[in-house]
Structure 1
Amino acid sequence: MSTPVFIDIAVPEQTSELRSYLKSLGAEICEENSESGILTDLKNVVEASTICWKEIQTDGEVEMLFNGIISLILMVPPEGVESLGTLFCEKIVKATTSEKRLGVRVKLLSNLFYGLPDVAPLRYTVYCAMLKLAGQGDLSLVPTDLNMVKEWISQWNISSQKTQHMLRILYDALVEGKMSEQATAVMIELLGTYTEDNASQARDDAHKCIVTCLADPSTYLMDHLLSLKPVKFLEGELIHDLLSIFVSGKLSQYQQFYKNNTDFVNSLGLSHDQNMRKMRLLTFMQMAENKKEIEFSIIQEEMQLSSEQVEEFIIDVLRTKAVRARIDQIQKKVVVISTTHRTFTKHHWQVLRSALTEWQETLKGIEGNFTSLSALQAQVPS
Structure 2
Amino acid sequence: MTTVVPTSEEDPALAVVRFTSELAWADAGPEAAEEQVSRLCLEAQESMVMGRWLDLASLMLTSADLMFAKVSDKDVECIFTVICNLVTKPESLDEVHEMAKLISGKIIQQPNDKPALRLKILFNLYNLLENPYSRFFVYVKALNLALSGKVTEHILPSFKKIDSFLKEWNIEIKDKRELFLGIANVLKENRSSSKDSFKFLTKYLATFSGEDAYTMGEAKEEAVRTIIEFVKAPDMFQCDLLDMPAIGQLEKDAKYALVYQLLKIFLTQRLDAYLEFQTANSTLLKSYGNNFFVVLSFSSLVHEDCITKMRLMSLVDLGSGGSGQIPYALIRDTLRISEDEVEMWVVKAITAKLMDCKMDQMNQVVIVSRCTERVFSQHQWQTLRTKLATWRGNIANVISTIQTNKVTEEASQGVQGLMTR
Q: How do 1:1-382 residues align onto structure 2 when only pairs under 5 Å count? A: 1-4=2-5, 13-26=11-24, 30=37, 31-34=40-43, 35=46, 37-57=52-72, 59-77=73-91, 78-95=93-110, 97=112, 101-117=114-130, 119-135=131-147, 136-139=150-153, 141-145=155-159, 148-177=161-190, 178-198=192-212, 199-222=216-239, 224-236=240-252, 237-262=257-282, 263=285, 267-268=296-297, 269-290=300-321, 292-307=324-339, 309-328=341-360, 333-344=365-376, 348-369=380-401, 371-372=403-404, 373=406, 377=410, 380=414
- TM-score with structure 1 setting the length: 0.84
5+ residue gaps in structure 2?
27-35, 287-293
Distance 2:183 2:7 in 1: 35
Q: Is the 8 A contact 2:77 2:121 kept in 1?
A: yes
CA shift in 2, pair 1:179/1:81, >3 Å: farther
Inter-partner Cα distance in structure 1 for 2:218 and 2:319: 39
1:310 Cα offset (Å): 4.0
Q: Distance in 1 between matches of 2:7 and 2:273?
A: 69
Paired-residue identity, %: 22
Larger Rg computed on CA atoms: 2
> Structure 1 residues 328, 7: CA separation in 2 closer, same or farther (over 3 Å shift)?
farther
Contact 2:152/2:189 (<8 A) preserved: no
1:309 to partner: Cα distance = 4.3
The count of residues paired between Structure 1 and Structure 2 equals 373
Root-mean-square deviation (Å): 3.2
Q: How many Å separate the matches in 2 of 1:7 and 1:287? A: 80
Following superposition, the deviation at residue 74 of structure 1 comes to 3.0
- Counterpart contact for 2:357–2:368, Cα < 8 Å: yes
Q: 1:322 to 1:73 in 2, by over 3 A?
A: same
How many Å separate the matches in 2 of 1:308 and 1:366? 45
CA contact (8 A) 1:5 1:68 kept: no
User: Which segments of 5 or more consecutive residues in structure 1 lack a partner in the other structure?
Assistant: none
Question: In structure 1, what is the Cα distance between the partners aligned to 2:357 and 2:238?
Answer: 19
Relative to structure 1, is the Cα distance of residues 194 and 4 closer, same or farther in structure 2, using a 3 angstrom cutoff?
farther
| Pairwise CA distance, 1:103 | 2.9
Q: Is the 8 A contact 2:271 2:311 kept in 1?
A: yes
Mean CA deviation greater in 124-133 or 299-308: 299-308
Give the direction of change, closer, same or farther, for the CA distance of 1:134–1:331 in structure 2 (3 Å limit): farther
**What's the offset of the Cα at 1:15?**
2.3
CA distance in 2, matches of 1:129, 1:6: 35
Q: Rate the CA distance shift 1:364–1:295 in 2: closer, same or farther, 3 A.
A: closer
Aligned equivalents of 2:137, 2:8: Cα separation in 1: 28
In the TM superposition, residue 128 of structure 1 has moved relative to its aligned partner by 0.6
In the alignment, the residues of structure 2 paired with residue 93 and residue 358 of structure 1 have an alpha-carbon distance, to the nearest angstrom, of 58
User: Which moves more between the two structures, 119-128 or 129-138?
Assistant: 129-138
Code of the aligned partner of 1:363: I
Residues 146 and 155 in structure 2, CA contact (< 8 A), matched pair in contact too: yes
Alpha-carbon distance in structure 2 between the residues aligned to 1:322 and 1:140: 35
Instruction: List per-residue Cα deviations over 1:135-176 (Å, max 9, x = no partner).
Output: 322335344547x43443443343322221222211211222
Deviation at 1:277, TM superposition (A): 1.3
Segment of structure 1 superposing worse, 264-273 or 175-184: 264-273
Check 1:157–1:362 CA distance in 2 against 1; reply closer, same or farther (3 A cut). Answer: closer
Equivalent residue letter for 2:199: A
When residues 159 and 73 of structure 1 are mapped into structure 2, their CA distance, relative to the original with a 3 A threshold, is: same
TM, length-normalised to structure 2: 0.77
Shift >6 Å, 4+ stretches: 5-9
Classify the secondary structure of the residue corresponding to 2:218: helix
